[in-house]
Structure formats: structure tokens, C-alpha cells
Amino acid sequence: MSTQPTNRRLTLTELNRKKISGEPITMLTAYDATFAQRIDAANIDCILVGDSLGNVVQGQDTTLPVSIDDMVYHTQAVSRGVEHAFLIADMPFMSYRDNVTAANSAQRLMADGGAEMVKLEGGQPVLSQVRFLTDQGVPVCGHLGLTPQHVHRLGGYRVQGREQRAREQIIKDAADLQQAGALMLVLECVPTDLAGEISQQLSIPVIGIGAGPEVDGQVLVLYDMLGLTVGHVPKFSKNFLIDGRDIPAALEAYAQAVRSKTFPAAEHSFA
Ligand code: KIV
């Protein structure tokens, strides 16, 4: 008799297996229970409660005003809708500024919110927090390239890692995050070949958004891929509802496009 529960969430072990076998990992953001149920029903591997909720739910210009209370509220809502997907929650701006603050934030997102992993942005400045959280048993996802919480320092939302020095820094940060204990990495808005090189070098799954097809999986902001976003839609996104009957069909089309590696195409990627 099998000892495996039939209704359970995907695990990091299964995501790692996908990396090894070359089966692309699918991920979308969600902020509420209904969309989480729909994404789950489309058999998408991971749901990210992104602090992009600051932009698409709260109507803020940046993700900076998002608080840990906001993140816990939305993570709880999403968690109620998820049966199968692996659930990741963003640590918002300043919620991981030192080790103890990071641990308190992770506790809230995991114990109160129901997340299985937390994501934080940056390289060298957050290595100590990644190590500390890892030592406490918290699964951590890194986020490099375009890190929206640093938008003012970066001077806008632009492609990162095109110049040699910046490229080398991202490669080093990625290796150091893995060394510090990170178990997944999101790469946002970087050239395809840089993302491919990092995915090859790391043993942990590398998930791209605007990072081309040569990574281990893809994530998009839900409202962008449903064509709901008003105003600027990033070039790396695609409206999957335009050719679909309805939202469930659009979610399935996205999963299928990522798994068959037809998304992202060259027009969604950066050189
Ligand atoms: O907040 C978010 O939605 C994200 C994705 C863009 C990766 O971090």
C-alpha cells in the first residue's frame, strides 16, 4: 500500500527532479484564493505571492509600500486555495534588513501565512540573512537581476547584467546565494545567455522572468499574462487570454507553452 498522500503540495524534491530531468518548472503569481484555485487546477507547479501585489492589487507605483502584514494576509488567502502547487511568498521591502527581522518575517509568512518558501531580493548584502534563515530550516529563494525593491538605486526598471562587470557580479551573487543555502533562484530581466550560464552552473532550480528560455522554469505576473494590466506591460510577458476561451484555458495554455518551451520566444527575451 502506498504511504504517499494523494492530495498534497509539490515538494522541493520534486522541483529539483524537474531541473535534473530538464522538465520546465511552471510558476505564476497569485494574490487571492480564487485565482490560486484556478492556477492549481491548471496544474501549475508553483505559486508566488509576489510583492508585485503592491502594483497590481494596491495600485502603488512600486513594491516599496508593501508591508509584512499585507504579505501575510494575501499569503493566507492564496494558501486556502492551494492544494497541489508549491507556495512561495515574497519578503517585502525592509522585512529582511537584518537576521532577526528576516526570521520574524519568515515565521509570519510560513507559520501564519502557509508559505513553504520565502523569497528575498539581492546578492551580497543578504547572504547573512540567507544563511541565518537556512540554519533555522527556512527554505529561501533568491532574486537577482532586476530587483524591483531596488528600483530607485537601479534608476528604473531596466535589463540588468549587460555590461561585463555587472554580469560577473550576478554570476558571483548567484553562486554565493546557493552556497549560503538558497534552494531556488529567480532571475529577472537579464540577457538569455547570462541566465543560461547561471542555470547550468547552479544545482538549484533557476526560474526566469524576462530571462529567456535557457532556465529551469518560468514565472509571470498573473495580471500581465491575462492581459489585465493597465498601462505598461513588460516585453517579456505575453497575453495568454487573447487566444483562449476563458481564464482556466489561458492558465493551461501558459503551462503548456512553458512545458513545451514555446514560451518565452525571442521576442520576450533580451540579448
Ligand atoms: O513580486 C513578484 O511578482 C515577483 C516576480 C516578478 C518574480 O517577484
Residue type, 55: N
Asked whether residue 115 carries a pLDDT value surpassing 50, the answer given is yes
Average pLDDT over residues 20-45: 98
Residue with cell 520576450: 268
Asked whether residue 26 carries a pLDDT value surpassing 60, the answer given is yes
Asked whether residue 95 carries a pLDDT value surpassing 50, the answer given is yes
Closest C-alpha residue for ligand 1 atom 2: 50
Average pLDDT over residues 3-26: 87
Atom of ligand 1 nearest to the CA of 52: 1
Q: Kindly provide the b/e burial profile for residues 146-161, where b requires at least 16 CB atoms within 10 angstroms of the residue's own CB.
A: bbbbebeeeeeeebbb
Distance 221 CA to ligand 1 centre (A): 7
Domains in the chain (CATH in brackets) are 12-268 (3.20.20.60)
Check pocket membership of 51 for ligand 1, CB cut-off 6 A. yes
Check pocket membership of 221 for ligand 1, CB cut-off 6 A. yes
Distance 189 CA to ligand 1 centre (A): 11
Check pocket membership of 219 for ligand 1, CB cut-off 6 A. yes
**Residues 119-151 pLDDT 10s:** 999 999 999 999 999 999 999 999 999 999 999
Question: Which residues does 172 contact at the CB level (< 8 Å), separation at least 6?
Answer: 123
Q: Specify the pLDDT at position 4.
A: 46
Q: Specify the pLDDT at position 57.
A: 97
In this structure, how many other beta carbons lie within 10 angstroms of the beta carbon of residue 10?
19
Rounded to an integer, what is the distance from CA 28 to the centroid of its chain?
8
Asked whether residue 53 carries a pLDDT value surpassing 50, the answer given is yes
Separation of alpha carbons 16 and 187, rounded Å? 17
Q: Give bridge partners of residue 219 from the DSSP assignment.
A: 27
CB 26 within 8 A of CB 259: yes
Model's pTM, two decimal places?
A: 0.97
Pocket test of ligand 1: the residue of 27, 47, 186, 237 to mutate, having most ligand atoms within 8 Å of its CB, is 186
Q: Specify the pLDDT at position 244.
A: 83
**Residues 201-246 pLDDT 10s:** 999 999 999 999 999 999 999 999 999 999 888 999 999 999 889 9
Closest C-alpha residue for ligand 1 atom 1: 50
Mean pLDDT across the chain: 96
- Would you place residue 98 in the very low, low, confident or very high pLDDT band (cuts 50, 70, 90)? very high
- Taking each continuous run of H as one helix and of E as one strand, the counts in the chain are 11, 8
Q: Specify the pLDDT at position 232.
A: 87
Cα–Cα nearest to 9, from 142, 133, 114: 114
Separation of alpha carbons 248 and 171, rounded Å? 37
Give the three-state DSSP class for 90.
Answer: strand
Average pLDDT over residues 71-87: 98
Separation of alpha carbons 266 and 101, rounded Å? 40
Q: Specify the pLDDT at position 194.
A: 98
Q: Specify the pLDDT at position 90.
A: 99
What beta strand segments (E) does the chain contain?
A: 25-29, 46-49, 86-90, 117-119, 140-145, 184-188, 206-209, 217-220
